Amino acid sequence: MDEVFEGRCLCGEVRFRAAGKPKWVLWCHCESCRRHSGAPASVFVSFAHEAVTITSGSIAVYNSSPGVERGFCARCGSTLTCSNEKLPNEAHFHIGAFERAAEFTPTGELFAGERLPWVQQQSGAFGGLSALAQVALARDRSRKG
C-alpha cells in the first residue's frame, strides 16, 4: 500500500490527502510565492494529480500570473497550492499544510536568482544542481528504468 500524507488549512475547512511518493520537494524564491505566502520563500511538495484527493471543502484559486493559479482556503486564507500549466500533471502543495511536513526534505530550489540576499542557498542533496535539472534527471532515470 502507498504511503498516505494528510493535510489541511488552518481552520480545517479544506482537507486533503496525497498517496505515494512525492515527485519532488523544492524551495521556491519567486516574488509571487513570497507575496502569496508572506514568507521569504516557500517549500512545495509535488504529487501526481491522480495521487491527490480533496476530502473536505474546496480550494479557492487566484490566477496570479499567466498559466499560474494559487490555491487557498476561502475561509481562513491559508496558502495551500500553486499550479503551473507547464507542469499539468502535478499538484504542488505548500509543505506546511501537511500534518507530517517534517518528512518532506527539499532537494533544491526554484528561482534561485530571486532569493532574498539574506536567505542562505538551499542546495539540498544535489549540491546546487538546479531544481529543473533535478526533475529532468529523475524523469530520465525513471524512463530508462
Query: Using one digit for the tens of pLDDT, what is the confidence trace for 114-139?
Result: 888 888 765 554 444 455 566 666 66
What is the reported pLDDT for 24?
A: 93
pTM: 0.79
Distance CA 86, CA 54 (A): 22
pLDDT at 140 (0 to 100): 64
Distance CA 62, CA 64 (A): 6
- State the DSSP code for 98: B
Give the model's pLDDT for residue 1. Answer: 46
Please report the domains of the chain, with CATH numbers, ordered by start residue: 4-144 (2.170.150.70)
Helix (H) or strand (E) segment spanning residue 31: helix 31-37
Task: Please tell me whether residue 2 adopts helix, strand or coil conformation.
Answer: coil
- Taking only the tens place, the pLDDT of each residue in 1-44 is 479 999 999 999 999 999 999 999 999 998 888 988 988 889 99
* 21 CB-near residues (< 8 Å, 6+ apart): 2, 3
β-strand partners of 46: 24, 92
